[in-house]
Amino acid sequence: MRSLSLWTPHIVPEEEAPEEAKGCECCSLARQRKRVIWGEGNPQAPLFILLDNPGARETREGEAFLCGTRETLQEGLAAAGVGREEFYISYLLKCRPVRAYDKEAARNACRPHLELQLGEKKPQLLLALGNVAVQGWFGDPEAEVKALRGRWHTVQGIPTACGYHPLAVRRRPVLRRLLAEDLEMVAARLEEWRKGAGRRQQE
Ligand code: SF4
């Protein structure tokens, strides 16, 4: 684990949603959202991080702020040695829910947006965080981080790791070490990928 003495959390630039998705009304969240949140970070990053849905991104006054989920995630990535240009964060649902909604209908409706992203970005690795993201990504309502974390899986041809949701880690500090282990596992595989990509460039 790296020292974080010089590290500070920061607002990661958002990637704008494509025109055809900005006005999406494919599920009831269209009536609750402020805007479609497509993702943030480097759109060409080798690591695609999948969370359940976006949280608040602005204060009431409209100022951008970093929620606890993203702060804890950034901190864990930095400690594991994953660089700022190496990750992209997105969501099963691209709209922030603020009241009750039909979860299954929303997840089914939003899936094509995720497929579009993955088809364009072709990430090397995917990290699904939290049971909701894991269940959505594995297509298994019984899937659990507890059982799947700590090793690699292949889902839709993408090497996939699982970890606890950063918000769960904030609420239960005992999970912090487990998230750190999973991020280190991801960082080690990214390092292998970097070496392989470097070798191919030299050939
Ligand atoms: S959650 Fe997804 S499917 Fe539903 S309105 Fe937002 S972008 Fe469309």
pLDDT tens digits along 153-190: 999 999 999 999 999 999 999 999 999 999 999 999 99
What does the pLDDT look like over 1-24, one tens digit per residue? 776 767 788 889 999 999 999 999
Return the pLDDT at 170.
96
133 domain residue, yes or no: yes
1 domain residue, yes or no: no
Q: What is the pTM of this model?
A: 0.95
185 domain residue, yes or no: yes
Residues at CB less than 6 angstroms from ligand 1: 24-27, 29-30, 36, 93-95, 106, 109-110, 113
Return the pLDDT at 200.
72
5 domain residue, yes or no: no
Question: 56: domain CATH number?
Answer: 3.40.470.10
3 domain residue, yes or no: no
For residue 173, report the distance from its CA to the centre of ligand 1, in Å.
32
Cα separations in angstroms, 118 against 21, 34, 130, 171 = 15, 24, 19, 30
Domain around 80: 14-202
Q: Considering only CA atoms, which residue is closest to atom 2 of ligand 1?
A: 110
Domain total in the chain: 1
What does the pLDDT look like over 83-136, one tens digit per residue? 999 999 999 999 999 999 999 999 999 999 999 999 999 999 999 999 999 999
4 domain residue, yes or no: no
For residue 27, report the distance from its CA to the centre of ligand 1, in Å.
5
50 domain residue, yes or no: yes
| Dihedral of alpha carbons 17, 20, 21, 22, sign | positive
174 domain residue, yes or no: yes
For residue 152, report the distance from its CA to the centre of ligand 1, in Å.
29
